[in-house]
Amino acid sequence: MNLRYLTPVISIAASLVFVGIMLAVMGINPVEAYTVMFTRSFGSKFGIAELFVKTTPLILTGLAVAIPLRAGLWNIGAEGQLYMGAFAASVVALKMPLPDLLILPTMFLASALMGMAWAAIPGFLKAKFDLNEIISTLLLNYVAIHWVEYMVYGPLRGKEVYNFPFSDLFSDAATLPRFFGTRFHFGVFIAILIAFIVYYILTKTDFGFSVRVVGANPRAAEYAGISRERVIIYTMLFGGALAGIAGMIEVSGIQLRLRPAISTGYGYAGIPVALLASGNPILVMLSAALFGFLYVGGSALQTTYSVPVAVVYVFQALIVLFIIGGNSLIQRRG
Amino acid sequence: MRVDVEAVITSGFIISLLASSIRAGTPLLFATLGEIVTERSGILNLGLEGIMITGAFTGFAVSFLTGNPWLGIVLAGFAGMALAFVHAFFSVTLKANQSITGLMLVLLGLGITGFFGRDYIGQVATYIDPIEIPVLSSIPVVGEIVFRHDPLVYLALLLAFVIWFLLFRTRYGLEIIASGENPEAADSLGVDVDRIRYLSTMLGGFLVGIGGAYLSLAYAKLWTEGMTAGRGWICLALVIFSGWMPQRAILGAYLFGGLDVLSFKLQAVGFGVSYHLLAMVPYVVTIIFLLFSVIRKREAFGAPASLGLPYIRGKRY
Amino acid sequence: METLLELRNIVKRFGDVIANDHVNLEVRKGEIHGLLGENGAGKTTLMNVLYGIYQPDEGEIIFEGKKVRFKSPKDAISAGIGMVHQHFMLVPRMNVLQNLVLGYRTPSDPLVDVRWVEEKVRKLSRRYGIDIALYEVVMNLSVGEEQRVEILKALFRDVKLLILDEPTAVLTPKEVETLFSALKAMTKSGLTIIFITHKLKEALSVTDRITVLRKGKNVGTVETKKTNERELARMMIGREVVMDIQKPKIEFGSEILKVQDLWVKDDRGQDAVKGVSFSIRSGEIFGVAGVSGNGQKELEEAIAGLRKPFRGKIALDGKDITNLGVAGRKDIAYIPEDRIGVGLAPSLSVMENLFMKDFKNFKKGLTLDFKSMEEEARKLIEEFSVKTPSVHAPASTLSGGNIQRLILAREFSRNPKVIIASQPTRGLDVAGIDYVRRRLIESAEKGCAVLLISEDLDEIFQLSDRIAVMYEGEIRGIIPREKADYETVGYLMAGGMEVAA
């Protein structure tokens, strides 16, 4: 029996037990609660569509964390990059007079560039001054979130939103097509396609090779004439672009306007998604699906028992912690 | 749109800004001091944000349920210590990647407090009130700025010196610093590095937890989900800024406390810039300060040499 | 003389590797006992077992007539055993006093009683003739001073047995003399010393008895007075001849590498290389002798393109390359001293490590041609006889000798004009040393200019055509091999000024 494949299963089970205890403390029957989570996710086409819809941003933010992680960098800023991408896409959707056919591609490009620009700051500071990227990417999240708030309270506030801090709804040409009469939208395909492209780039190209060397031993990379600085900046830009695209997909596929709180921690969830997949872009899709399920289940719990969505964070943290614990126990025995 | 200069002066703007800087800086000071102790021993605990929010919630809930805010403070410390223990277990015993565990503690803290905190939002607990120190508090200006705070403000200041003394004048301090600089050397002289790291991490977590409780029980005097708003991360930057020196943490904490309150205060006097833009300032300034700290790189103020690295005795390469 | 320490049938395994195979050792009170053996013979492992860093898998330790078990160094220290490790165990950012007192309970514990420590150190200094500034920060000390702190650390804890692991590796000949006379003085005051070394001459000059280890087993114990270099070498290596490389006469060609008035700073921003000039011709091996830390690392990194000089010029084949990075210096091969930390990405595969520098040559369209990369890799590991289960195995699974072969395979297969070899045989076994040296000579025959940087004087003398000595960032004289002798080079290494040739 291979323990390595068993650990994730046991970890997920253990997390369910742990959260079950938390639910019980709140006076909620955990078995019932988990039944609700499952039936809401898998019980109807709407549920399954929601699974895809929640998995989509997680694939992208998971990749946004995974790519720099392969070079040994922690991008904790996917959340902020997502917000900035959403902001850029919204500006295009709301303010730029473009032919209908060009709107979505322009939004896509704008969000990728904005996400890149936002990730470029910590990337540059890391490469040039060795400034801790964990702290800088994280702090920039708060700046990005406040920036979007400023926009929807000010310059981008809509005319027909009463006093809510929302932008106007996007025009139809600026929203992603939806299918099956559900919220399942075109962004799902974009994310899956991107995951395959990232896999290809990281494993088959010379860029991917350089990233591997820098991630394995930065000093050896310098010794081999691979510019560590360039790899740091490029992987951060790459990750930032993907998180930015996630932002565009959220506003043009789900929210259909810019508003505060467009992400319920998708950027942070990218960290466990990437870790669970150990940085492999194909596996990122699987782990994103798992966390997507937790999100759908989490909001089912919220509507049924008014349990805060924060419970999803607990799941994420516990699964990763149990897996680390499990792996290190296996290493000790073997 | 113009700032009324006269109003600023006559309303005691500066005085009240400085006084509230100290209050706003106190939770930062507790947490920064805690992390200094932790990092000095070689353990990097990135989970400050999660531990602080756990402290904030525990303190508030205990005070709400028992009516005793001081009990809340103490139990918040123990809650912080419990989370720090988890980190120590993974870092020291399991030799796991310290960044990952720390980050997961943030999610765990935010998640658990968001989950259990639902019923406490909008509630009123018993808070810790300022005291006026006899005689000194009646000194004009200085009295108002310095001597009319709650006891925890003074405790935090005192702690900065206690920790300085602990680190640089006692055997324990030498053992903590050596564990963070060169654990192999410490081990070769019979210092129990694992034990030192466990204890330092847990002591650190205790102080961070108190810092969080200060937020809900003495500073903001309320409980909301995610109320730490990145303070844990700012404290991580403050540790670097202070060069891992407790006495230097005081200045940094009060400075960032000041930045924190500045946006509110400026709005109150009709400063014509959006609150949302002002609210970005502390985060941006933190990054700039951090940049200065790394550019200024001096050996004496550098990070502990073995920070974040697990220690495995007699490891073969 | 009575027996102080006895190790009986000590066995220590690391996975499948057996580092100590039923080793016995008996040390008498008041003697200096040499522990002699090649690198990897198990000397340090044995002492780490004695000192409580490792737990033995079998066997027992008898100290002062009692059977003991040390779970950690703490137990060993309190029993009266001190150890000075090969790599010093000091905290660079603390001062000497803090390093001495670390983990020690002074009378005012938990406060550190500074006056008490000062007094105790004064007494020790008088007794053993060791002098040291207590309030100097350790990172400002010289290597010799650091070693004195290490020894003082042990004496401070009133040890009865002091273990010294390769204590002379980092010292100049002059410092070695000082150390030896201090050691002899210490045994007169009742201390017992175990002296680990792989150098025959040292073992003969300072010890009373010598135990020889070979491949984890003990070969025997001899009285120093009754033995000689030949016998010890035979015991240590297991065959008569130590090293037998005949360097053929090589015709020098044109000047390949020229370094002019080079100035380079170290990581701390101090001048590490101060105005070094030399040139190497095709076919020539230019040896740089000197104690580590005298600017060699900065010099080789500047030539390899890893570190920017702030003054001076480096020319390759007449072209100025001073401002080019590593990627622009494809004609320079570099075998770094820190093979695992710099020369290798241990978690990557053998193939990836082989093509860490040249992977772009395999670019086919947008992707890399991994098939032909694999073929190339197979050829290289065969040519350089790198022992690995597959080209896809992580490099970390290779042994030290095979890691060095892997690096040689990568560097030599690029047809370099210049080879920088830094401590290329350190830590290798006899076969590995032999292989590396032959390869270096072969490259010179093919017309390479070789810059050999080594602390090992035998190696320098065996391979070099000219010998330069580096001291405190300067080259203190360049001597043709046929005019050079150990004495002159040793004198220059210790900071002596250039002798009139």
Report the range of poorest mean pLDDT among C65-69, C120-124, C227-231. C227-231
Whether C493 shows a pLDDT value over 90: the answer reads no
Residue A122's closest chain B neighbor by CA? B287
Residue A213's closest chain C neighbor by CA? C345
Residues C315 and C352 occupy one common structural domain: no
Residues of chain B short of pLDDT 70, as ranges, are 1-11, 297-301, 314-317
Q: What whole-number distance in Å separates Cα of residue C423 and Cα of residue C425?
A: 6
Residue A103 is predicted with a pLDDT of 96
Q: In this structure, is residue B14 part of a structural domain?
A: yes
Residues C155 and C113 occupy one common structural domain: yes
Residue C497 is predicted with a pLDDT of 67
Q: In this structure, is residue C246 part of a structural domain?
A: no
According to DSSP, the residues that pair with C262 across neighbouring strands are C276
Q: In this structure, is residue C389 part of a structural domain?
A: yes
CATH code at position C446: 3.40.50.300
Nearest partner of C407 among C380, C431, C434, C433, judged by Cα: C380
Q: In this structure, is residue C243 part of a structural domain?
A: no
pLDDT band at A4; cut points 50, 70, 90: low
Residue C15's closest chain A neighbor by CA? A334
Whether A2 shows a pLDDT value over 80: the answer reads no
Once rounded to an integer, what is the mean pLDDT over residues C143-167? 91
Say if the Cβ atoms of C112 and B171 lie within 8 Å: yes
Q: In this structure, is residue B317 part of a structural domain?
A: no
Residue C144 is predicted with a pLDDT of 83
HSE-up of C494 (CA within 13 Å, CB side)?
A: 15
Peptide bond into C110 cis (omega under 30): yes
Give domain limits for chain A: 53-289
- Best residue of B189, B301, B311, B312 to probe chain C, by most C CBs closer than 10 Å: B189
Whether A110 shows a pLDDT value over 90: the answer reads yes
pTM value is: 0.89
Residue C41 is predicted with a pLDDT of 82
B 224-253 residues with CB < 8 A to A: 225, 229-230, 233-234, 236-237, 240
Q: What whole-number distance in Å separates Cα of residue C332 and Cα of residue C450?
A: 10
Q: In this structure, is residue C340 part of a structural domain?
A: no
Say if the Cβ atoms of B112 and A140 lie within 8 Å: no
Residue B1 is predicted with a pLDDT of 44
Whether A278 shows a pLDDT value over 50: the answer reads yes
Report the range of poorest mean pLDDT among A290-299, B154-163, C123-132, C431-440. C123-132
Query: Does residue A92 sit at the B interface (CB-CB below 8 Å)?
Result: no
Helix (H), strand (E), coil (C) string for C306-322: CCCCCEEEEEECCEECC
The widest CA-to-CA distance across chain A, in whole angstroms, is 65
Query: Beta strand C255-265 with C271-281: parallel, antiparallel or unpaired?
Result: antiparallel
Angle at C489 between CA C488 and CA C492, to 5 degrees: 90
Say if the Cβ atoms of A212 and C352 lie within 8 Å: yes
Structurally, how many domains does chain B consist of?
1
Residue B266 is predicted with a pLDDT of 80
Domain boundary among C205, C237, C269: C237
Say if the Cβ atoms of C327 and A225 lie within 8 Å: yes
Structurally, how many domains does chain C consist of?
3
DSSP-derived 3-state class of residue C106: coil
Residues C459 and C397 occupy one common structural domain: no
Q: In this structure, is residue B309 part of a structural domain?
A: no
pLDDT band at C199; cut points 50, 70, 90: confident
Q: What whole-number distance in Å separates Cα of residue C445 and Cα of residue C467?
A: 18
Q: What whole-number distance in Å separates Cα of residue A150 and Cα of residue A87?
A: 11
Q: In this structure, is residue B308 part of a structural domain?
A: no
Residues C271 and C229 occupy one common structural domain: no
Reported ipTM: 0.92
Q: Chains that contact B by 3+ CB pairs under 8 Å?
A: A, C
Neighbouring residues of C343: CB distance < 8 A, sequence distance ≥ 6: A220, A223, C335, C336, C407
pLDDT digits (tens, 9 = 90+) for C463-492: 999 999 998 899 988 999 988 887 788 778
B269 min Cα distance to partner chain A (Å): 20
pLDDT digits (tens, 9 = 90+) for A170-189: 999 999 999 999 999 999 99
More confident site: C190 or B25: B25
Helix (H) or strand (E) holding C235: helix C229-237
Residue at token pair 């600017």:
C295
Residues C277 and C199 occupy one common structural domain: no
Say if the Cβ atoms of A223 and C325 lie within 8 Å: no
pLDDT digits (tens, 9 = 90+) for C382-405: 999 998 889 999 998 888 889 999
C340 min Cα distance to partner chain A (Å): 9
The pLDDT mean for chain C works out to 89
Domain boundary among C415, C446, C467: C415
Domain hosting C310: range is 254-331+420-501
Neighbouring residues of B224: CB distance < 8 A, sequence distance ≥ 6: B121
Tokens of C378: 């197979």
Q: What whole-number distance in Å separates Cα of residue B91 and Cα of residue B105?
A: 12
Residues C400 and C444 occupy one common structural domain: no
Whether A295 shows a pLDDT value over 70: the answer reads yes
DSSP C316-378: ETTEE-TT--GGG-TTEEEE-SSTTTTS--TTSBHHHHHTTTTGGGGEETTEE-HHHHHHHHH
Report the range of poorest mean pLDDT among C45-59, C268-282, C422-436. C422-436
According to DSSP, the residues that pair with C332 across neighbouring strands are C418
Axis crossing angle, helix A281-305 with helix A30-42, rounded to the nearest 10: 120
Residue C500 is predicted with a pLDDT of 43
The residue type of B161 is F
Residues C355 and C318 occupy one common structural domain: no
Domain hosting B270: range is 5-301
Q: Chains that contact A by 3+ CB pairs under 8 Å?
A: B, C
Query: Does residue A203 sit at the C interface (CB-CB below 8 Å)?
Result: no
Q: In this structure, is residue C219 part of a structural domain?
A: yes
Residues C92 and C178 occupy one common structural domain: yes
Alpha helices by DSSP H, chain A: 3-25, 30-42, 45-70, 78-95, 100-129, 133-153, 187-204, 206-216, 218-223, 228-249, 266-276, 281-305, 311-333
Neighbouring residues of A88: CB distance < 8 A, sequence distance ≥ 6: A107, A110, A111, A113, A114, A115, A244, A247, A248
Residue C294 is predicted with a pLDDT of 87
Q: In this structure, is residue C337 part of a structural domain?
A: no
Whether C241 shows a pLDDT value over 50: the answer reads no
Say if the Cβ atoms of C112 and B185 lie within 8 Å: no
Whether A204 shows a pLDDT value over 90: the answer reads yes
CATH code at position B120: 1.10.3470
According to DSSP, the residues that pair with C33 across neighbouring strands are C194, C209
Neighbouring residues of C218: CB distance < 8 A, sequence distance ≥ 6: C23, C24, C25, C211, C212
Helix (H) or strand (E) holding C84: strand C81-84
pLDDT band at C268; cut points 50, 70, 90: confident
The minimal CB distance from C89 to the residues B188, B314, B317 is found for B188
DSSP-derived 3-state class of residue B128: coil
